[in-house]
Structure 1
Amino acid sequence: FFDAPVSGGEAGAINGALSIMLGGPKKKLLQINNLMDSYAKNIVHIGPSGHGQLTKMVNQLCIGSLIQGLSEGVALGKKSNLNMNKVLDAISGGAAQSWQMDNRFKSMVNSEFDFGFAVDLMIKDLKIALNHSNDLGIKLPSTKSILQNYKKLSTLGDGGLDTSSLIKLLEK
């Protein structure tokens, strides 16, 4: 069997531009590639069955950390009364650039969170990744902290909002 988790959000799905993390038998790839080409721009065979899901765990850890950092940066910039459009122009051309910055910075500045990947889904994904890391004996302190922040948001009734709503905890 194949496991084929995706990344790229709702916009990626609508535009046929998802990234697929594919696990499964390499010799069978040609049989399924045409199907995936219809909704993905990036298809990477990671390894045997299960490796797609493991890669998705890595993806979610990275996204959580990126959103936490972006939340802190946006909160600091707003409290410092910076022109956030100019901040975005300045930092998005450098080492801080990311998909999250390109797609969530402005909505975070404007407190718009009614789209995208839900907080409650991120909680589920981070729990799965932390359980796996515990099984491997790996400590992930940043991920644990980020999970706690998402749980706070969910408890406040914001579990259906986009994960970028993490900034709300910093703006209180």
Structure 2
Amino acid sequence: MAKIAFLGLGVMGYPMAGHLKHKGGHDVTVYNRTAEKAAKWVGEHGGGLASTPAEAARGKDFVFCCVGNDDDLRTVTLGQDGAFAAMKSGAVFIDNTTASAEVARDLAEAAEKAGFGFLDAPVSGGQAGAENGVLTVMVGGEQAIFDTARPVIEAYAKMVGLMGPAGAGQLTKMINQICIAGLVQGLAEGIHFGKKAGLDVEKVVDVISKGAAGSWQMENRHKTMNQGSYDFGFAVDWMRKDLGICLAEAERNGAKLPVTALVDQFYKDVQDMGGRRWDTSSLLARLGK
């Protein structure tokens, strides 16, 4: 049993912290910007409740974090009452936020100077993956630190991979989002075309999903897309945040992402339609009936 802190109890962090407590069997203390949510988690799961990131991190072996963006991450780590000022030597900070590779490298450097480990470890699998403890975790950092943290991370994961040095986890997550964006747009256009052609979309997908066109998106989203149901899943606002990170990194490294840039603008159209919290499969909605 390890002493663990978890910072950030959103739709992902809330169940992830629960898996660390129950499946992992660890002693978990939680912090959330909205204190009521942290109190609710403790009421459901037990464990400790902290009023600041520093209080949560003090004396812990591992500190997990899953917040909104780079600014949120810097606030809970380096800001006033941030976790980094309180972490003990030899501890490990594991960041599950989807953020930039730049902030990951900055925090890894700060952690090294302070005498503790840092891993950037963004996740894929969505809310359902978090709730079921079957996330894919893409990690950047040093091998020895990864080896120490991996058994703990596995409490909420089905796949944990070390992708390279600090920042490599975030870069891998960017590739994940780039691939998803193109897949969802293709699926949206295929379903739209099928409807216009007068075909039974369910029958079509039942056949083509078994061939080269098959994908996780097709298997898990075609039914709700065909029904025009989008009030669940990974929100368009979050996807635009992620694609913004991808496009900014591409500006730095010279990668050409024409389809990603186009789909990002399609998601802006969905936002303008009132679909900011719709699932990312709502790209179909902008194509009309």
Question: What is the TM-score when the length of structure 2 is the normalising length?
Answer: 0.58
Gaps of 5+ in 2: 1-117
Q: CA deviation at 1:23?
A: 0.7
* Greater share of residues in helix: 1
The aligned counterpart of 2:72 is none
Separation in 1, partners of 2:286, 2:216: 22
Q: Which runs of 5+ in 1 are unaligned?
A: none
Shift in Å at residue 11 of structure 1?
1.3
Which residue pairs with 1:48 in the alignment? 165
Residue aligning to 1:94? 211
The worse-fitting range, judged by mean Cα deviation, of 44-53 and 23-32 is 23-32
Cα deviation, residue 30, structure 1: 2.5
Larger Rg: 2
What SS does structure 2 have at the residue aligned with 1:157?
coil
The whole-number CA distance in structure 1 between the counterparts of 2:130 and 2:248 is: 28
Aligned amino acid, residue 135 of structure 2:
L
Q: Deviations 1:92-134 (Å, cap 9, x if unpaired)?
A: 1001111111111111001111111100111111111111101
CA displacement at 1:138 relative to structure 2? 2.2
- Asked if structure 1 preserves the Cα contact closer than 8 Å seen for 2:119 and 2:146, the reply is no
Q: Aligned runs of 1:2-17 on 2, under 5 Å? A: 2-17=119-134
**What residue identity is the alignment partner of 2:213?**
A
Aligned to 1:38: 155
Q: Distance between the aligned counterparts of 2:229 and 2:155, measured in 1?
A: 30
The amino acid across from 1:58 in the alignment is I
**Shift of the alpha carbon at 1:62?**
0.4
**Who is 2:221 aligned against?**
104
Between structures 1 and 2, the one with greater strand share: 2
Separation in 1 of the partners of 2:255 and 2:142?
Answer: 28
2:266 to 129, 149, 153: 149
